[in-house]
Amino acid sequence: MQDLLELAVSAAASGCIYGLVALAYLLMIRPTGIINFAVGEWAMVASFGGFIFLTKYEWPYPLGMAVVVAFMMVVGWATERIAVRPLVERGAPLLAPILALLGVLVVTREIISVSFPPDPLPVPFPFGIGRIEIGPVGGSYQSFFIIATTIAVFAGAWFFSRRLSGEKVSRRSR
Amino acid sequence: MRKLLTAVALAALTVSAYAQQTIKIGVITDRVGVSKPYSEPATEGVIFGAEEINRRGGVLGRKIELLVEDDQSRPDISAALARKLIDQGAVFILSVSLSPATQQQQTVTMEAKTPQMTPMNSADYLTTQLDNPYFWQTGPLGSVQIATLLAHAKTKNFKRVALITDNSDLGQAIAKAFKATLEKGGIQVVAEEVVPRGATTAMPQMQKLRAANPEAMFLAGVLTAENVLIFRAYKELGVKFPIHSSYNLSVPIYETVAKGLIDGITFVDAYDPEKPEVKAFEAAYKKATGKDPQNLHGYGYDGIMLIADAIRRAGSTDKEKIRAAMQQTSYAGVMGAKGMKYSFPEGKRAGFDPNGMVVRVYEKDRQGRVLHVGQK
């Protein structure tokens, strides 16, 4: 039983990572109608950013993460400006920006693969390496951190989209 | 890496000037494959050794010229590269990629009667499967590693231990040898687990080992990423039994990729930081390159030094004379316990002293002190 619960925690933590990437897809496709195939690659870019700031330069975790998040916002903004907006503004068919984003995927992947060695690159955990046991449920600090972060992000996204759709409804009813 | 390329480029540039005078040594390394973490520093050691030899006037009054090829540790291309190097005039081939690739090169060196040696490959079969009088290995054999690790374990009086490895050929072979030697020593292997290549977690395997409640765990895996998963699962599950690792943990890459996970792990090594030859080597390497060498640099350095020593004693670059001289080697290098000499007694072609290995321990994230020497 203990084994099963431990596995559940660790598997949930891995699943949460995929869940967060899936949410990113959803958040982009819902309002824009364009699927961004480069989202997975962006997650990868962010991980390598984490490696650079947290492992290579050994910045404190909150600062390093803040820089990575800010950097990813710039990446997202630049992609929209360079690859998506010019096409949409000139009335290209819907498929065009999708293919352009596919191109962004390839470019991003190749840049990373030529810039970093094939060795495993570790990134430090925010709370170090340790284990929490809550009754029969046991897992690493990192697993619980990932699960808690994911829940927070999903809850935030849910409130955000509810508020947005609420506004839409009230506008329509006017 | 850049240094390596520069050295190769420099070597290429000097070809024309020295074409008649240089002694060409072929080096087959791995720059991108599974053996990269071993092969890259070893090759740097070879290059440093060759530069040092050339600074001191070379061998037989001629400079050493390295011809470096990358076989990616792939047996299917390594033999062709050995052929290419021999065609380019290499009088000795130094193999620092993976054992199966080195084995494949032997088919060429045996036929071309060209001396070949590996200073680091550990597979026992390299000098036993083929009767190739032109091949030597001076790295510590797999069987010696295991015997040394178990001699240390014996001092702990374990009765019940666990065994974990990966599904690579070498990892499987080491695990098999671990098990046989453990059981011969009256130690029961109560659980065995395999972490497959490409796994994303080692939690289930570690849970099973924990359930078996062993007194210690022996690690036979050789894949860096998978070993890191094992150490992570070990920490995440909060298990406490000590880890005794194969020689793979002597690769210093773990100091960076397994930061915070390796304190207290014991491992077999062939490098004693307190040895005078090691201190001299480390100082010279630091002076020449500005970097601290690792144990793996020592293998490459010893390899090129052994070859230079044989050619010097042969008094010629005649391959047959070099072969005869190599067989008579008696040389104290950087690798091995204090006082160890490489030699090939009674026609053997594996030259690492069976009592020349040591057991060391990770202290925090650094490879630390020697705990045990030899097989006794």
CA B357 to each of CA A7, A20, A137, B267: distance values in angstroms, whole numbers, following the listed order: 39, 49, 43, 11
For every residue of B66-98, DSSP letters joined together read EEEEE-TT-HHHHHHHHHHHHHTT-SEEEE-S-
Q: How many CB pairs under 8 A join A and B?
A: 52
| CA–CA dist A54, A46 (Å, integer) | 12
The confidence score (pLDDT) of residue A81 equals 93
Instruction: With cut-offs at 50, 70 and 90, classify the pLDDT of residue A94.
Output: confident
**DSSP assignments along B318-368, one per residue:** -HHHHHHHHHT-EE--SSSSTT--EE-GGG--B-S-TT--EEEEEETTEEE
Q: Is the predicted pLDDT of residue B370 greater than 60, yes or no?
A: yes
Asked if A123 and A54 touch (Cβ cutoff 8 Å), the reply is yes
Cβ of A129 and B225 within 8 Å? no
Contact (CB<8Å) B237/A122: no
Q: Residue B257 in contact with residue A124, Cβ under 8 Å?
A: no
* pLDDT given at position A109: 92
Measured distance CA(A163)–CA(A157) in Å, rounded: 10
Chain B residues with CB within 8 Å of chain A CB: 32, 36-37, 200-201, 203-204, 207, 211, 224-225, 228, 232, 235-238, 253, 256-261
| Residue A7 in contact with partner chain B when CB distance is under 8 A | yes
DSSP B28: E
Instruction: Using an 8 Å CB-CB cutoff, list chain B residues near A142.
Output: 236
At residue A17, the pLDDT reads 93
Q: Please write the tens of the pLDDT for every residue from B318-341.
A: 999 999 999 999 999 999 999 999
Contact B89, B22 (CB under 8 A): no
Provide, as residue numbers in chain A, all residues whose Cβ is less than 8 Å from the Cβ of B202.
Answer: none
How close A137 gets to chain B, by Cα (Å)? 11
Query: pLDDT category, A174, cuts 50, 70, 90?
Result: very low
Q: Which residues of B touch A121 (CB under 8 A)?
A: 257
Which DSSP helix (H) or strand (E) runs through B281?
helix B276-289
- Average the pLDDT over B306-324 and give the result: 96
B32:A124 CB<8 A = no
The shortest C-alpha distance from B293 to chain A (Å) reads 19
User: Which pLDDT does position A170 carry in this prediction?
Assistant: 57
Q: Which of A33, A27, A21 is nearest to A97 (CA)?
A: A33
Please say if the pLDDT value at position B10 is more than 60.
Answer: no
Burial of B345 by CB count in 10 Å (0-12 exposed, 13-18 middle, 19+ buried)? exposed
Q: How many Å lie between the alpha carbon of A83 and the closest alpha carbon of chain B?
A: 33
Q: Residue B16 pLDDT > 50, yes or no?
A: no
CA distance B31 to chain A (A): 10
If you average pLDDT over residues A93-118, what whole number do you get? 90
User: Mean of the per-residue pLDDT values for chain B?
Assistant: 91
DSSP A20-83: HHHHHHHHHHHHH----TTHHHHHHHHHHHHIIIIIIS---HHHHHHHHHHHHHHHHHHHIIII
Residue keyed to tokens 């699927």:
A35
* A118/B228 Cβ within 8 A: no
Query: From CA B260, how far away is CA A151, in angstroms rounded?
Result: 28
Q: Does A114 touch chain B (CB under 8 A)?
A: no
Q: What are the φ/ψ torsions at residue A7 (nearest 5 degrees)? A: -65, -40
| Residue A78 touches partner B, C-beta closer than 8 Å | no
d(CA B334, CA B280): 9
Please give the single-letter amino acid code of residue B350: A
**Residue B25 phi/psi, 5° resolution?**
-115, 125
Q: How far apart are CA B97 and CA A30, in angstroms?
A: 51
- Closest by CA to B280, choosing from B266, B268, B298, is B298
Which of B168-182, B185-199, B287-301 is predicted with the least confidence, judged by mean pLDDT?
A: B168-182
Under an 8 A CB cutoff, do B37 and A14 touch?
no
Per-residue confidence (pLDDT) for residue A66, from 0 to 100: 96
Torsion angle of C-alpha atoms B122, B85, B300, B316, degrees rounded to 10? 110
In the block, tokens 């994303």 appear at B200
Chain A residues with CB inside 8 Å of B37's CB?
119
Confidence at residue B150, expressed as pLDDT on a 0 to 100 scale: 86
Nearest to B178 by CA among B99, B246, B123: B246
pLDDT at A42 over 50: yes
Phi, psi at B35, each rounded to 5°? -90, 5
* CB contacts, 8 Å: A7 with chain B: 203-204, 207
**What is the distance in angstroms between the Cα of A59 and the nearest Cα belonging to chain B?**
16
* pLDDT exceeds cutoff 90 at B313: yes
Of the candidates A119, A128, A129, which has its C-beta nearest B253's C-beta?
A: A119
CA angle B310, B312, B315 (to 5 degrees): 110
Contacts of the segment A145-152: beta carbons below 8 A, 24+ positions apart:
A146/A13, A146/A16, A146/A17, A147/A9, A147/A12, A147/A13, A147/A16, A149/A16, A150/A16, A150/A17, A150/A19, A150/A20
Report which residue type is found at B324.
Answer: A
Q: Which of B139, B32, B138 is nearest to B77 (CA)?
A: B32
> Which of A10, A110, A57 lies closest to B235 in space, CA to CA?
A10
Distance CA A172, CA B10 (A): 74
Put simply, whether A10 touches B (Cβ < 8 Å) is yes
Which residue type does B207 have?
Answer: Q
If we measure between CA atoms, which residue out of B192, B258, B311, B294 comes closest to residue A120?
A: B258
Q: What is the mean pLDDT of chain A?
A: 88
Q: Which of B170, B271, B147, B146 is nearest to B226 (CA)?
A: B170
Ranked by mean pLDDT, the top range of A39-43, A134-138, B279-283 is B279-283
Cβ neighbours of residue A64 closer than 8 Å, sequence gap 6 or more: A50, A53, A54, A57
Chain A residues with CB under 8 Å of B259 CB are: 122, 124
B240 sits in the region (left: phi over 0; alpha: psi -120 to 50; else beta) called: alpha
**B36, A118: Cβ pair inside 8 Å?**
yes
- Asked if pLDDT for residue B239 goes beyond 80, the answer is yes
pLDDT of residue A76 exceeding 60:
yes
pLDDT at B19 > cutoff 80: no
Q: Do A119 and B37 touch (CB under 8 A)?
A: yes
**Eight-state DSSP code of residue B197:** T
Measured between CA atoms, how close is A70 to chain B, in angstroms? 26
Q: Does A113 touch chain B (CB under 8 A)?
A: no
CA-CA-CA-CA dihedral for B46, B51, B53, B54, to nearest 10? 140
Could you count the other beta carbons within 10 Å of the beta carbon of residue A172?
A: 7
Inter-chain touch A6–B253, beta carbons under 8 Å: no
